[in-house]
């Protein structure tokens, strides 16, 4: 079931994006067996919100001989979780302050690692969401480009949480324009846009998303 749902989604996403957009499976609260089913069906990118779940799931998948895949952190990283996050994920999508970036940079340096990060943008200025405000993004990005153990290559946004399609579209467009501005200022590697979830990924692809983050549409409703 999970495998079929993934393959159906993949076909739809390939069609909608011309093959330009990847699918990250949001695996919060999913069993390693469920994730393995998706990986076996061709999924290549897994995201976790909770670092303990990331670590436990990746360990179980290794023991089960799961296919190679890439892992991203898509939830807020508390500073005491920086170390396991950097060890178990190739990319951290949710950096939203200089304090968090400096902490990750220091720990990555201690571990002898370089990690890819994205900035999380609070693109609808929602009080309930993490993320840097759009107007503060360019300055924060410049400070992070100076950190030697982090490589900033994209922006992530949850987008406006509303049934108003136009507001959702505008929040994704805001994020896309920030990435365009960063590239115009010479940061040509800043190409990834992680935007769109089960309910709004088509709008996100319209607005330039390169990675959609999908949970329920493949794994089913969460309890």
* Site stretch for ligand PLP (CB under 6 A), options 12-20, 123-131, 170-178, 210-218: 210-218
CA angle 106–49–55, rounded 5-degree value: 70
Shortest distance in whole angstroms from residue 214 CB to ligand PLP: 5
Asked whether position 49 contacts ligand PLP by CB under 6 A, the answer is yes
- Region from 10-18, 107-115, 138-146, 213-221 binding ligand PLP, contact rule CB under 6 A: 213-221
Nearest to 23 by CA among 6, 37, 40, 5: 6
Select 205 or 214, whichever has its Cβ closest to ligand PLP.
214
Nearest residue relative to ligand PLP (C-beta): 215
Shortest gap between Cβ of 213 and ligand PLP (angstroms)?
A: 4
74 binds ligand PLP (CB under 6 A): yes
Please give the residues from 85 up to 114 whose contact with ligand PLP meets the rule CB under 6 A: none
Provide long-range contacts, Cβ within 8 A and 24+ apart, for 95-98: 95/119, 95/120, 95/144, 95/150, 95/152, 96/120, 96/122, 96/130, 96/131, 96/132, 96/140, 97/132, 97/140, 98/140, 98/143, 98/144
């Amino acid at each position: 079931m999970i495998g079929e749902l993934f393959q159906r989604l993949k076909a739809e996403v390939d069609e909608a994006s011309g093959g330009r957009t990847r699918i990250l499976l949001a695996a919060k609260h999913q069993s390693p067996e469920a994730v393995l089913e998706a990986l076996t069906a061709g999924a290549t990118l897994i995201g976790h919100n909770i670092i303990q779940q990331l670590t436990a799931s990746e360990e179980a998948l290794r023991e089960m001989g799961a296919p190679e895949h890439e892992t991203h952190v898509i939830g807020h990283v508390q500073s005491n979780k920086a170390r396991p996050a950097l060890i178990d994920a190739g990319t951290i999508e949710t950096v939203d302050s200089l304090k968090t970036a400096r902490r990750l940079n220091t720990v990555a340096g201690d571990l002898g690692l370089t990690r890819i990060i994205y900035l999380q943008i609070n693109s609808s200025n929602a009080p309930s969401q993490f993320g840097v405000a759009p107007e503060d993004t360019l300055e924060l990005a410049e400070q992070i480009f100076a950190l030697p153990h982090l490589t900033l290559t994209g922006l992530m946004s949850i987008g406006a949480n509303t049934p108003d399609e136009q507001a959702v579209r505008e929040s994704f467009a805001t994020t896309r324009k920030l990435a365009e501005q960063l590239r115009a200022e010479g940061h040509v590697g800043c190409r990834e846009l992680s935007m769109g979830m089960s309910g709004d990924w088509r709008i996100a692809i319209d607005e330039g998303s390169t990675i959609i983050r999908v949970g329920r549409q493949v794994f089913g409703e969460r309890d």
